Amino acid sequence: MPAMHFVVCWPDGSKETCYSPSTAIEKYLLVNHPYALNEFVQVTTRALDEASERVKAKFGYYCSSAQDQSAAIVQKAAQFSPEQRVTVEKITPITA
């Protein structure tokens, strides 16, 4: 279950490297696709919930890092208007 980073470009031009505990994020996000802010929050919440479920299936507990990342995305998104756009610049596996 390789962990992944995904780089988000927020409406103000700032970039943030986000964490997913599994490749589930790749099923939900498209690189260089402009997402409406509210859609991005919904999609990443679903993706990180699924990733956390995968961790639970393998290890017997949910991934608190996925839950924390989801909460951080919601908090950051609240700084912008819902119609603004977010782009995922890349999704990469985390290497040791």
pLDDT tens track for 15-54: 999 999 999 999 999 999 999 999 999 999 999 999 999 9
Whether pLDDT at 94 is above 90: yes
pLDDT band at 70 (very low <50, low <70, confident <90, very high): very high
User: Residue 40: how many CA atoms within 13 Å on its side-chain side?
Assistant: 31
* Distance in angstroms (rounded) separating the CA atoms of residues 83 and 11: 10
**Single-letter residue type at 94:** I
Mean pLDDT of 63-73: 96
Given a contact cutoff of 8 angstroms between Cβ atoms, the answer to whether 62 and 48 are in contact is no
* Distance in angstroms (rounded) separating the CA atoms of residues 68 and 31: 22
- Give 79-92 pLDDT, tens digit per residue: 999 889 999 999 99
What's the Cα-to-Cα distance from 66 to each of 12, 25, 72, 88, rounded to whole Å? 24, 11, 10, 17
